[in-house]
Structures are given as C-alpha cells and as structure tokens.
Amino acid sequence: MKAETNLSTGIPNTWCPGCFNFSILAGVKNAIAKEIAEGKKKEDFAIVSGIGCHAKIFDYIHLNGINSLHGRVLPVCLGMKVAKPNLSVIGFSGDGDAYAEGMEHLIHMARFNPDVKYIVHNNQVFALTVGQPTPTTELGYKDKTTPDGVKLMPLNPIKLMLAANAGFVARVYADVKQIEEVLREAFKHKGFAFIEIIQPCIIFHKDEGVKEKMYSLQEQGHDRSNWQEAMKKAEEFDYNNAEKIPSGIFYQKERATFEDIFLRYR
C-alpha cells in the first residue's frame, strides 16, 4: 500500500469521472508496487505514453519516462532499451495510437522482441478527439465523421500480433485485478509483451455487454504455448459482435530479445 502511494504524482486527474482509465491506472500501479515490494526500485522503471486520453496516465504515475508523440510510443521504448537495457520499460497507447498512427512500429516491435511491456487501452474510438472510429471500431458505428456508419471490417490485433511473432499476447478487461495479474505475468516474460485492455469509453463507446461475454482462457485450461490454439481463440472475437470473448494470455513463448541479439558486446 505504501509503495503504491509513492507512485502517485498528486497531479489533478482530468479523465471523465467513471472512466475505465482509472481501473487501468490502479491495476498498473498495483503491479509495479508489488515489483517494488519484491526488490525492484522506482528507478528501474520507465514509462512512455502517446497522445490521447490514455496518455494522461503518464501524469499520474510517479516514474521516470517520456510522454511522446501520437503513435510513436514503441520507437521511444526501443530507444530507452538500447540506451539502458536494464530498464523495465512500459509503453501505453490507445487503439488509435497503436493501430492507426503507430501500426508499423507495432508490427516491427513484435518482430524485434525488445523486453518492453506494451499496454493498449482499446476503447474502439479516438476518444480525446471526440469519438471518431479507429481500426478496431465495429461495423456500423456512427459518429459525426462517419454518419453512414463504419463500413470497413475491424482489424483483429490479437491475430496480427500472433502473425507478427509476438512472444506474449494477452487481452484483458479494464478491471484492476485482471490488469495487475497480466502485467505481473508480463514482467516475468523476457521479451516484448503485448497486452490489450478492452476499455469501454463511457462517453463515445460504452460497454454494451462486452464484460459479460468475456471468459478466462486460463480458467479453461488454454495451452498458452500453442500458437495454433491461440489463433483459434483469437478468431472468437472479431471486434464486432461475439457470443463470447476470450481474455487472458493467448500465447507465450520466449526467444532471443533485441537486446540479446544486438547489445551483447557492450
């Protein structure tokens, strides 16, 4: 509890009251506080955010880092790892940030495999700029920019990350406990960890039954070392409607990291 308190900045919070970003903040702080209680120091961590509602998380966690540009979270994370390979680097993006502007970085980071933990707050809209559709917005979603509704199939980032050879691929709901648990697992994983958080936006993209449809892969005995099974599970939710939505760790396998390959002779 004390360690968690130490992670607070005291900066007034400007998220909407009731925003699920509060749950993400609490889950992340709990996970980091536990790492600190087990011997890590605050100075061992660095955080990076992009631009958007999610990115304000940077202001509310008392750790070193860089509030970077829209879509450029991952190259900044990689730069940090190159400069200081022992830093525990956590990146935060929105779905617009990660899957639109920053998409090329995401694919290559999964391939490069630096030991970076990457959290995507997926509310299926560009929230800060008032609700335009992103690459994961469902068919038919309407806003002022898209009055006839979205006509393009959403991207499935879990499938994309699996195809790009990411070594740790997870999805959880914006629930404090789930976030804490999956981030703790990600910290144990040596390599790039992709964690998508399904985060309702209480203004532009409400939950609409998503939480009830989610079930735990781990409780169902899913074999996270099986890539084909992970792909099958990823297909259960295409970001439109679904009967049930898998959550937890889809896939995990360690391999040489970017640092192992390129920074060995330092």
Ligand X SMILES: Cc1ncc(C[n+]2csc(CCOP(=O)(O)OP(=O)(O)O)c2C)c(N)n1
Q: Which of 70, 58, 52 is nearest to 199 (CA)?
A: 52
Interacting positions 68-127 with ligand X (CB under 6 A): 70, 94-97, 101, 121, 123, 125-127
Measure the CA–CA gap between 261 and 263, rounded to whole angstroms.
6
In the complex, least distance from residue 173 CB atom to ligand X, rounded to whole angstroms? 16
3-state helix, strand, coil split of the chain in percent (to 5) is 35, 20, 45
Nearer to ligand X, 33 or 74 (CB): 74
Site for ligand X contains 129 (CB under 6 A): yes
Q: How far is CA 192 from CA 119, 202, 229, 240, in A?
A: 11, 30, 20, 27
For 138, list phi and psi in degrees, rounded to 5: -75, 155
- The C-alpha atoms of residue 88 and residue 181 are separated, in whole angstroms, by 17
Cβ-based neighbour number of residue 249 at 10 Å = 23
Task: Please give the residue whose beta carbon sits closest to ligand X in the complex.
Answer: 94
Distance (Å, whole) CA 254 – CA 223: 15
Site membership for ligand X, residue 134 (CB under 6 A):
yes
User: What is the largest distance, in Å, between two alpha-carbon atoms of the chain?
Assistant: 56
Q: How far apart are CA 58 and CA 152, in angstroms?
A: 32
Interface stretch with ligand X, choices 11-19, 49-57, 135-143, 226-234 (CB under 6 A): 49-57
Tell me if residue 213 falls in helix, strand or coil: helix
Q: Which is nearer to ligand X, 88 or 93 (CB)?
A: 93
Minimum distance, C-beta of residue 130 to ligand X, in the bound complex (Å): 9
Q: How far is the CB of 157 from ligand X (least distance, A)?
A: 12
Min dist CB 196 to ligand X, Å, is: 12
Binding of residue 54 to ligand X (CB under 6 A): yes
Of 32 and 127, CB closest to ligand X: 127
Question: Residue 103 or residue 128: which is nearer to ligand X going by CB?
Answer: 128
Determine which residue in the list 15, 20, 52, 168 makes contact with ligand X, applying CB under 6 A: 52
Q: Least distance from C-beta 99 to ligand X, angstroms?
A: 8
Kindly state the smallest distance separating residue 204's Cβ from ligand X, in Å: 8
Kindly give the residue spans of alpha helices, DSSP state H, lying in the chain: 2-6, 21-37, 57-60, 73-83, 95-96, 103-112, 157-163, 176-188, 210-213, 227-234, 258-262
Q: Which of 53, 74, 160, 230 binds ligand X (CB under 6 A)?
A: 53
Shortest distance in whole angstroms from residue 187 CB to ligand X: 23
State yes or no: residue 165 binds ligand X (CB under 6 A).
no
Residues with Cβ within 8 Å of residue 145, at least 6 apart in sequence: 132, 133
Q: Decide: is 141 part of the binding site for ligand X (CB under 6 A).
A: no
Give contact residues for ligand X (rule: CB under 6 A): 51-54, 70, 94-97, 101, 121, 123, 125-129, 134
